[in-house]
Amino acid sequence: MDGNGRWARSRGLPRIEGHRRGVVSVRTVVEECARLQLDQLTLYCFSSENWKRPPRELELLMSLLRTYVVKERDEIMRQNIRFCTIGRSDGLSPSILAEVQETIDLSQHNSGMRLCLALNYGSRIELVDAMRRIALLVQAGEIDPETIDESTISDHLYTAGMGDPDLVIRTSGEMRVSNFLLWQISYAELWVTENHWPTFREADLYQAFRNFASRDRRFGGLSDPSNEAE
C-alpha cells in the first residue's frame, strides 16, 4: 500500500495525513473484497524496514494501527471476516499486540474472507525464522533432513495453512515486490497502478481483477498442451 507520503507531499500536507487517508482506502478495499467473497486479502501494513522512519511518524503509524484494529472490530464481525496477522511481534507495543490479539480471538470462528495484516513483516526474516524452526526440529530428531521439501518450508512460514496469493497489487507505480511474501508469490500475477494508495478505490480494484482475469496462468506449462513440440 505505497504512496501515502508522496500523496500528502504533492498536496502540501504532512506525511501522516497520507497515512490517515490510506486508512480510508483500507476500509474500502476490505469491504469490497469481503463483499466479493475473496478467500483472503493480505495487506502489507508495516515492513521490518519501516523502523528506519522518523520517530514521530512511527508513533503516529502505531497509533493509526491501534485505532484501526479497535474501531473496525465491529465491522469485521458484521462482515464475518477472519482477522489475522503475520510478522514478528518485536518492537510492537504490548497495548497494540493486546488489541490485535483481541480482534484475532473475537473473529477466529468467522467463516468469511481472511483479512491478514503484515505487521513488522519481512519475507527474508520470515524465511530465516522458518529455517531456524526446521533446524531445531532436525536437531531434535523430529525431521529427517532427507525428507525436507517445499511443503516442509511452507508449513513453517508465518503463512502456514494459508493459500499462496494469486494476485499482487502494487500502488504508486513501484516496480518491485519489496521483500513481500517472496516464497509465496512465486507464481502470483503482478499488477501495478500509478495511483497512490490514498486514492485507491473500487474502480482500481475492479481494474486489477479484470486484468487478472485476462491473464493466461501457465505455472511453467503450456496454455494448450497439444502445442507442445514433439
Q: What is the per-residue DSSP string for 84-146?
A: EEES--TTS-HHHHHHHHHHHHHHTT--S-EEEEEEEE-HHHHHHHHHHHHHHHHHTTSS-GG
Residue 128 cell numbers, joined: 530465516
Bridge partners of 121, per DSSP, are 47
pLDDT of residue 227: 54
**Is residue 230 very low, low, confident or very high in pLDDT (cuts 50, 70, 90)?**
very low
Please compute the mean of the pLDDT values over residues 210-218 and round it to a whole number: 91
CA-to-CA separations, 72 to 1, 81, 107, 225, in angstroms, rounded: 18, 11, 12, 47
Q: Indicate the pTM of the whole model.
A: 0.91
Please compute the mean of the pLDDT values over residues 155-162 and round it to a whole number: 97
Asked whether residue 103 carries a pLDDT value surpassing 60, the answer given is yes
Task: Name the CATH superfamily housing domain 4-213.
Answer: Decaprenyl diphosphate synthase-like (3.40.1180.10)
Closest CA to 18 of 59, 50, 61: 61
Residue type, 54: P
Q: What DSSP state is assigned to residue 15?
A: H
**Is residue 219 very low, low, confident or very high in pLDDT (cuts 50, 70, 90)?**
confident
Active site residue 164: no
Bridge partners of 116, per DSSP, are 42, 84
Active site residue 50: yes
Bridge partners of 117, per DSSP, are 43, 85
Closest CA to 118 of 34, 184, 74, 181: 181
- Tell me the domain boundaries of the chain: 4-213
Q: Which of 2, 120, 195, 204 is catalytic?
A: 2
Q: Which of 4, 50, 110, 164 is catalytic?
A: 50
114-121 and 189-192 strand pairing: unpaired
